[in-house]
Amino acid sequence: MEVLYFAWVRERIGLPKERVETSAVTVAELVEELKAREERYAAAFADLSALRVALDQELAEFDAPLAGVREVAFFPPMTGG
């Protein structure tokens, strides 16, 4: 699946998107896999309450299933308007 990062999540991880092969069942499991990779991922995902997630461009929760999902995006709370 494609994993996208925005705002300070993108800056902390150091890239806007990447292709990830995973067998994670939920978003939370994917986050654990990413955190285990490298310190920059661990730093970006340290506080999930400061993050939001979208699955195929719709806002979702961290316990949401990943089955059939093609695009996951992680970002801070939005500041539009």
Partner 1 sequence: MRVAVQEAPFDFGAEAEAFARGAEGAGAVVTFTGVVREADSGAMACMEIEHYPGMTQKALEQIATEAMSRWDLTDALVIHRYGRLAPGAQIMMVATAARHRVAAFDAAEYLMDYLKSRAPFWKKEILQDGSADWVAAKDADEDALRRW
**How many other CB atoms sit within 10 Å of the CB of residue 63?**
9
Size of the site for partner 1 (CB under 8 A): 17
Cα 68 from Cα 52, distance rounded (Å) = 20
Which alpha helices (H) appear in 1-81, and where do they start and end? 7-13, 27-37, 39-44
Q: Does 68 bind partner 1 (CB under 8 A)?
A: no
Q: Compute the least distance from the CB of residue 65 to partner 1, in Å.
A: 19
Please, which residue, 7 or 25, has the CB nearer to partner 1? Answer: 7
Q: Which residues bind partner 1 (CB under 8 A)?
A: 4, 6-8, 54, 57-59, 71, 73, 75-81
